Amino acid sequence: MAIFRKGIKIGGYDIRVGFPRDKSYDNIDKDPRLGGKANADTTINRFRAMTQAAGGYARPTKYIIECTLPIGIKLSSPNSGVASDFNDARTMQTDMAEQVAFHCDTIEFPGRTIETATTRYHGPEKTHATGLNFAPITATFYCDKFMKEKHYFETWQNLVINKRNYELNYYDEYVTPMKIMQLSDFDKQDMKGGHPRSQQSSSQSKNAVYAVQMFECFPTTIAAQPLGYDNKNQIHKVSITFDYRYWANIIDIDKVEKDDTFMTQQTGIVSQDPKGQGPFGLFRHLPSELRRAGNNVFNQAKNRIPTGKVFGGAVFPPF
């Protein structure tokens, strides 16, 4: 298209005058300057390389909790009232544990603070550590139409203080561990059958890349739930504050980086999972970024050949 074009008609002829556009951008794909490689040492390229090598970023929406009522203590008949509370807890744990984990709307990884004190002998003050402080955490849960989630935590609190005579039970009778797990990307087989957080805990925890276990945990506060006619388009949530003695990271970051790992539900021990190591484990000793690239190429190859297109790669051995 010309930059300027003007014409007149004289008789049966059109006489037009125009200035053509600049042709310096014609055949730009053959410009030798475009054949040069990008400078990998620029800030943006280093950032992109680090992001790709890390496999992306952790997302706060990918998590699961394991919450267990203290049900391991069996009481004799003279304590029939307290025994009834523990029987209720066992029934509630069997019926509601998975639903409570799935309905956890918000939660937070617990923090820890090193307590310090200052001393001055001569010159500037010196700060030294005196201990660790673990603050309580708060979680919110969706309530189904029967308010079962609130019943669940009220049952737990009934194990702390006897609801009949308001006497305290023994400490070991109402504390229990609680786990919070950060999940990685889900495998396709884990997505079958619904939302990934609706699967069994053993299937979920194998995707954990970070996990915290709070020891000797129990709910101290069940928050008030407001009611009102102007809330007809909202659903009930119950807010629970948990106290605990201390917490610990139960995932070994070195194993997470080297191998795909999972945490067994019974012991909390990190074990190797042969998935993601390539055919015959060829990729298991590679750096994480090379292992990811190799797995991507191998998975694409499995699904591009005819049998892979038909069976989704299922005809291959379980590499």
pLDDT digits (tens, 9 = 90+) for 39-86: 767 888 888 888 877 777 888 999 999 988 887 555 544 455 666 777
Instruction: Let me know whether 230 and 314 are in one domain.
Output: no
Q: Across all residues in the chain, what is the average pLDDT? A: 76
Give strand pairing partners of 179: 66, 213
Nearest to 102, CA basis, from 138, 71, 66:
66
CA–CA separation, 74 vs 90, rounded Å?
10
Mean pLDDT of 280-294: 62
Asked if residue 244 and residue 104 are part of one domain, the reply reads yes
Q: Which residue has the tokens 């990271």?
A: 249
**Residue recorded with tokens 């190859």:** 301
The Cα–Cα gap between 102 and 36 comes to 52
* 143 plus 245 within the same structural domain: yes
User: Which of the 8 DSSP states describes residue 32?
Assistant: G
Name which residue leads in pLDDT, 114 or 94: 114
Report the alpha-carbon distance of residue 144 to residue 150 in Å, rounded.
Answer: 9
Q: Return left, alpha or beta for 161; rule: phi > 0 is left, psi -120 to 50 is alpha, else beta.
A: beta
Q: Rounded to an integer, what distance in angstroms lies between the CA atom of residue 55 and that of residue 60?
A: 16
Q: Which residues of 199-230 are buried (b: 16+ CB within 10 A; e: fewer)?
A: bebeebbbbbbbbbbbeebbbeeeeeeeeeee
- Do 215 and 315 belong to one domain? no
Q: What is the DSSP-derived secondary structure letter of residue 167? A: P
Total structural domains in the chain?
Answer: 2
Which has the minimum average pLDDT: 33-42, 88-97, 237-246? 33-42
Q: Give yes or no: residues 257 and 295 share one domain.
A: no
Question: Which DSSP helix (H) or strand (E) runs through 58?
Answer: none
Which range is most confident: 44-58, 176-190, 200-214? Answer: 44-58
Domain that holds residue 216: 58-109+131-261
DSSP string, 276-305: TS-GGGTTTTS-HHHHHHHHHHHHHHHHHS
Q: Does the residue 216 lie in any domain?
A: yes
HSE, CB side, 13 Å, CA atoms: give it for residue 129.
5
Provide CB contacts within 8 A for 100, sequence distance 6+: 67, 141, 149, 152
Domain membership flag for residue 303:
yes
Q: Report yes or no on 20 lying in a domain.
A: no
Domain termination residue (choose one: 261, 289, 304): 261
Same domain, 145 and 235: yes
pTM: 0.63
Instruction: Tell me the CA end-to-end span of the chain in Å, nearest whole number.
Output: 58
